[in-house]
Structure 1
Amino acid sequence: MATVKIFISHQKQDSSAALRVQSYMKNSHDIDCYLDVIDPDLRRGEEIADHLRNELSKCSHLLAIVSEATKLSWWVPWEIGVATEKDFPLATFGTNVALPEYLMKWPYLKSQSDLTKYAQTVSEMSRETRLLDGVSNESFNTATASVGRSSTRRFYQSLRSKLGQ
């Protein structure tokens, strides 16, 4: 499934959890992910922001790994904001963490079973978007942009239904 790519946003302390999610998505569901491990040569905030914006432009979804450590991150909320502006389908994944109100807007995953439901929804919506638009894989990103908010809303409705939210 080359046309879907999930940007995994996380705080540095949650790198091992983010790597496990990335591995699970690829190995169990054949979904590519970009894990925002910043190049150590990028020093200035502007360089990091440009790098992250560039990587986000190659993705279709954002999954934020959340924990108590996320409260210490400036970048996770920034990445969520950029993805929101791009109307990416968003979700959060974490256990035993009280989410701030603004994160309650999106589906929340708490287990590997929830990750499976998320992956299924990502795959289903990707197929649906391509079928509805009658487009080839090469023009999938352009078609996704044109379908826009209704596709993202359908993603949320479908995932929330599967999660019982």
Structure 2
Amino acid sequence: MKVFLSHQKADSETAGIIATRLKLYHQIDVYLDVVDPNASTTGDDLGEYLRQQLSICTQLMAVVSAATKTSWWVPWEIGVATEKDYPIATFAGGYTTLPEYLRKWPYLQSMSDVDAYAEASKMAQREFKNRRTYQTDSLARRSSTKDFYRVLRSSLRQ
């Protein structure tokens, strides 16, 4: 399991805190461009590079704030993850109001919510592995993603 942390540059510190928590407390691997020297490319090259990184990941968490409104990449990354049927969640700390298109997925507001996300992620990964024995990868991914949403929303009371 590997989580792609999508964020606007202004939210790099928050994304770093979440990445550290997922790695240290939950042993979940994370892709975070802040620590990736190859992420400094631009344009089409960056788009292709990010698509490659997303294909290595199994889910996406978008870290959003008021600054996200100026980002073209965060919505693009969410779109790519949606096409892949990846579990998607949003971390909107503080008093950030989510745009309409992000309200369809679970949203996290605290580090304890990140912990609930990690547990739902681990459960979904186990379910995916179990389902792959008797389902196609695509069907197993869709089913385990639905389970992820159900479990996480229940934990978050959403």
Structure 1 11/132 Cα, relative in aligned 2: closer, same or farther at 3 Å? same
The match for 1:114 is 113
Give the share of equivalent positions with the same residue, in percent: 50
* Count, aligned residues: 155
The alignment status of 1:147 with 2:147, answered yes or no, reads no
Aligned pairs for 1:30-49 within 5 A: 30-37=27-34, 39=38, 41-43=40-42, 45-49=43-47
Q: Cα deviation per residue 1:62-112 (whole Å; 9 max; x = unaligned)?
A: 000000111110000000000001110000002210111110000000001
* Matches of 1:63 and 1:51, distance apart in 2: 18
What aligned pairs does 1:52-71 form with structure 2 within 5 A after superposition? Answer: 52-71=50-69
SS at match of 2:97: coil
CA distance in 1, matches of 2:125, 2:40: 35
Specify whether residues 41 and 131 from structure 1 end up closer, same or farther in structure 2 by C-alpha distance, changes over 3 A only. Answer: closer
Distance 2:111 2:40 in 1: 34
TM-score scaled by length of structure 1: 0.88
Alignment match of 2:7 (pick from 1, 10, 32): 10
Deviating more after overlay: 148-157 vs 63-72: 148-157
Q: TM-score, normalised by structure 2?
A: 0.91
Q: CA deviation at 1:145?
A: 3.0
Return the match for 1:25 from 22, 27, 35: 22
CA contact (8 A) 1:7 1:36 kept: no
The 3-state SS of whatever aligns with 2:16 is helix
Query: 2:140 and 2:39 mapped to 1: Cα distance?
Result: 37
- Does the residue aligned with 1:105 lie in a helix, a strand or coil? coil
CA RMSD of aligned residues (A): 1.8
Could you tell me which residue of structure 1 aligns to residue 151 of structure 2? Answer: 158
Q: Mark the CA change 1:149 to 1:41 in structure 2 (over 3 Å): closer, same or farther.
A: closer
Question: Is the contact made by 1:89 and 1:152 (CA closer than 8 Å) also made in structure 2?
Answer: yes
**Contact 1:10–1:36, Cα closer than 8 Å, also in 2:** no
CA distance in 1, matches of 2:136, 2:121: 16
Which whole-Å CA distance do the structure 1 matches of 2:39 and 2:146 have between them?
37
1:77 to 75, 79, 87: 75
Does the aligned pair in 1 maintain the 2:127–2:144 contact within 8 Å? no
For the residue of structure 2 that corresponds to 1:87, the secondary structure is coil
1:148 match: secondary structure = helix
Segments of structure 2 that go 5 or more residues without pairing to the other structure are: none
2:39/2:46 contact within 8 Å kept: no
